[in-house]
Amino acid sequence: MLTVTDAVVRYGTIEALHGISFDVQQGEIVALLGANGAGKSTTLRMVSGLHAPASGSIIYEGRDITKVKAHEFVSMGISHVPEGRRVFPQMTVEENLEMGAFRRSGPLRDDIEEIYVQFPILKERRKQPGVNLSGGEQQMLAIGRALMSKPRLLLLDEPSMGLAPMIVETIFSIIGQIRDAGTTVFVVEQNATQALRLADRGYVMENGRIVFGDTAKNLLTDPRVRAVYLGESVEGE
């Protein structure tokens, strides 16, 4: 579904990603793991057009999307839940959800109600501006907003960041439901164990490189993953 080959990303003169390659198959949950500053968010921002790669290619559903602009991604079925939630602070919960369907025409009522079924708390808070929501509620809103575009590929950037363990459980079970409903998920996480319990496959990043990838099952028992999870450097790197 998504194939990235030798992608290099630069911020000015600094090279943030040194030629990374990975792929996501339809129906999978793929986790991208790594310590802070390893390049996970940069990778996700590249995949959703926020930061174009200097070289390399991104193929999505057989189409080269390397040069496609960020605002066109959502129409192609790719939806990105950004790091830190980024709900629109002065828009109500409902307006935020409507923003998620910005590129779709036609009535949204049924779709909004569907999101409310999945996230009942959002219905209670529908008239509240986004800035008044708790972190967990904002994360649910950000995910609900992304689902409003009816994506085929959902990109999630650190969905557990700053949330209480109970809420993290809820968010991860929702991510599982989203995949079961037919949406492919590519998730960036620091919380490696949690992510790998849910994912089918995973990749581990370090210093702007993907150092290895494997099935989630194998990664969970891999000593190198334990090292990353504990924030230690990988042997031999």
- Does 90 interact with another protein (rule: CB under 8 A)? yes
Stretch that binds another protein, among 71-79, 120-128, 205-213, 221-229 (CB under 8 A): 71-79
Looking up tokens 């991860």, which residue turns up? 172
Interacting residues with another protein between 10 and 49 (CB under 8 A)? 48-49
Among 23, 61, 95, 214, binds another protein (CB under 8 A): 95
Contact flag: residue 125 with another protein (CB under 8 A): no
Check binding of 99 to another protein (CB under 8 A).
yes
Q: Is 54 in the site for another protein (CB under 8 A)?
A: no
Residue 67 makes contact with another protein by CB under 8 A: no
The size of the chain, in residues, is 237
Q: Which is nearer to another protein, 51 or 125 (CB)?
A: 51
Sign of CA dihedral 192, 205, 174, 120: positive
Which one of 10, 86, 123, 152 is in contact with another protein (CB under 8 A)?
Answer: 86
Any contact of residue 103 with another protein (CB under 8 A)? yes
Buried-exposed string 35-62: b where 16+ CB fall within 10 A, e elsewhere: beebbbbbbbbbbbbebbbeebebebee
User: By C-beta, is 91 or 234 nearer to another protein?
Assistant: 91
Nearer to another protein, 85 or 125 (CB): 85
Return the residue of 22, 73, 116, 119 that touches another protein, per CB under 8 A. 73
Does residue 149 belong to the site contacting another protein (CB under 8 A)? yes
Q: How far is the CB of 163 from another protein (least distance, A)?
A: 19
145 binds another protein per the rule CB under 8 A = yes
Give the footprint of another protein on residues 181-220 (CB under 8 A).
none
Q: Is 143 or 219 the residue whose CB approaches another protein more closely? A: 143
Cβ closest to another protein, residue 26 vs residue 75: 75
Tell me the sheet residues that pair with 210: 205
What residues does 92 pair with on adjacent strands? 129
Interacting residue ranges for another protein, rule: CB under 8 A: 48-50, 69-75, 79-80, 82, 86, 88-91, 95, 98-100, 102-103, 145, 149
